[in-house]
Structure 1
């Protein structure tokens, strides 16, 4: 069975006439008739029956036609995906990221990138540290922001794109809420609102507290930045969040205070599969991101750098 036979069969089924199908296919009528005859011989059934001057599908022909329509649509979609894979200015980028980066960072960089490539589509997936690594390795996403950036391995590669400071967040009426800076040790008697196990910020905050000489008492756990920020603002405890998670999105907001001792930071990385089989559009996005974060470090407008696919 050949692809051409299926294409000719579907066109005849649509036109209900060999001559009209041949005209639209720009081939001889005899070529269409021959391919339909060979297809029926191979299947061992009659796909069409003559009614006057037209051809109508037999019951089994109707069943076969539905399957052929699906097959050819899937084939067309696959061809389009191949073209998108090879086109750095179109196609779809699948990107994963933790919840703490979804409020401001992801919308900002996507909007900036769309100025260069307006026809690119994005598919987003949020997750924990371990699930993001799994999504990259299983090709569920092309790229993923992750913190901290894991070491490169045989299957995984990554770039550290930024280091970010964590701030103490406190209820607005907290005695330390008006301070410009505090030592983490000053929060040793407080109850903490932390991310649930599996989220990368939890061990960072936990280790910082141990470094400050105490084990944090956990009052609440959650998996959303907005939830943690809201619980703190409501007076349910204190926490530490990175700067990008502190952009105000509602009326009830916690106070934020810089931590002087110990300084608490996290690295943010961009990971991808080591096999180098990224679509060109995803490679262009990775090149753009490296330029974007470099420009932030150097206080240089991103537009001054050329955006192009990585070699």
Structure 2
């Protein structure tokens, strides 16, 4: 079994078309067909079946695809690690994070790191809590910022690097907009603009309202910090957002008011895969992040 046979097989499986796969691989269609045929002969099974002009994986082909992709991913990673071992300054870091951290925090730390290591490349992936856990577990990313820290995971490990306060955001004409601080219970009669299910800030706000003695009335839901902030500024309701989400300004900005009771916070963790040595360039970035948050953000 040859490496190129696995590469051709995976490409055909992804494209579901031999000609298109050959174009992507920059080889002749006949070469792809020949290698797939040889692979099937060696395995003694049919990996594809014809569906019009397309091809479709057989059940055993679907099983083999998972293993082939894993083998190729491990090989790519090994090549990358060798290059990074020779010179970590030209490596690549794959970083995951929720949208709320992409506004200010992630650009800030990446820019600070690249001042020291300008040739290091980054690949970013945004996602919700479950998808970020999965991305780390399945080696789609090397590191991920996440909130809250996953206490009961056998597949990831990490540390809390930042705890930040959540503030009430209100329409500019809200009766409490000019207050220095309020109790969360003072918003019990207001409609709330909350993140959709699956976003980590939603249960934080929900639990804080329950602690304040009421269940929030949901008027609108959104999937991005900008959306939540914009809907509140437009008078659609009230919400809670972390301080880091307030840095960006626009024509429509809500009033920001401190919450005196209860004290609402969220923790942000930096996670990685358990029991796996990080590539040198990732280790370098991980150490930088720990020092960065122990320094610049320690007293915030």
Instruction: State how far apart, in whole Å, the 2-side matches of 1:128 and 1:172 are.
Output: 30
Shift of 1:83: 3.2
Residue 89 of structure 1 aligns to a residue whose secondary structure is helix
> C-alpha displacement at 1:156, in angstroms?
1.0
Equivalence for 2:80:
81
Contact residue 212 and residue 261 of structure 1 kept, 8 A: yes
What RMSD over aligned residues (CA atoms) do the two structures have, in Å? 2.8
Instruction: Find the aligned partners of 1:217 and 1:61 in 2 and give their Cα distance.
Output: 61
Tell me which residue corresponds to 1:288.
288
| Aligned residue in 1 for 2:138 | 138
Q: How does 1:152-301 map to 2 (within 5 A)?
A: 153-298=153-298
TM-aligned CA deviation for residue 89 of structure 1:
1.4
1:82–1:236: structure 2 CA closer, same or farther, 3 Å change rule? same
Structure 2: how far apart are the matches of 1:104 and 1:2? 47
Partner SS for 2:296 = helix
TM-score for the superposition, normalised by structure 1: 0.70
For 2:260, what is the secondary structure of its paired residue?
A: strand
Which whole-Å CA distance do the structure 1 matches of 2:276 and 2:2 have between them?
A: 33
Report deviation, 1:296.
2.1
Q: Secondary structure at the match of 2:161?
A: strand
Q: Describe the SS at the equivalent of 2:96.
A: strand
Secondary structure class of the residue paired with 1:186: helix
Report the alpha carbon displacement of residue 78 of structure 1 after superposing the two structures with TM: 7.3
Q: Deviations over 1:32-55 (max 9, x none)?
A: xxxxxxxxxxxxxxxxxxxxxxxx
Aligned counterpart, 1:148:
148
Q: What's 1:71 paired with? A: none
SS at match of 1:145: strand
Q: Once superposed, which parts of structure 1, at least 4 consecutive aligned residues long, lie more than 3 Å away?
A: 60-65, 76-80, 82-85, 297-300
Query: CA–CA distance in 2 between the matches of 1:148 and 1:287?
Result: 21
Q: Whole-Å Cα distance in 2 between the matches of residues 248 and 82 of structure 1?
A: 37
Could you tell me how far 1:207 is from its partner in structure 2? 0.3
The one-character-per-residue Cα deviations of 1:71-109 (angstroms, maximum 9, x if unpaired) are xxx9x9878623334232121111111111110001000
| 3-state SS of 2:270 partner | strand
**Residue 171 to residue 88, structure 1, CA distance change in 2 (3 Å):** same
Give SS of 1:257's match. Answer: strand
Unaligned runs of 5+ in 2: 4-26, 36-72
What secondary structure, in the 3-state scheme, does the structure 2 residue paired with 1:154 have? coil
More displaced stretch, 240-249 vs 106-115: 240-249
Does structure 2 retain, via aligned residues, the 8 Å contact 1:151–1:158? Answer: no
Distance (Å, rounded) in 2 between the aligned partners of 1:241 and 1:61? 55
Distance 1:264 1:298, change over 3 A: closer
How many Å apart are 1:266 and its aligned residue? Answer: 0.6
Return the TM-score normalized by structure 2.
0.73
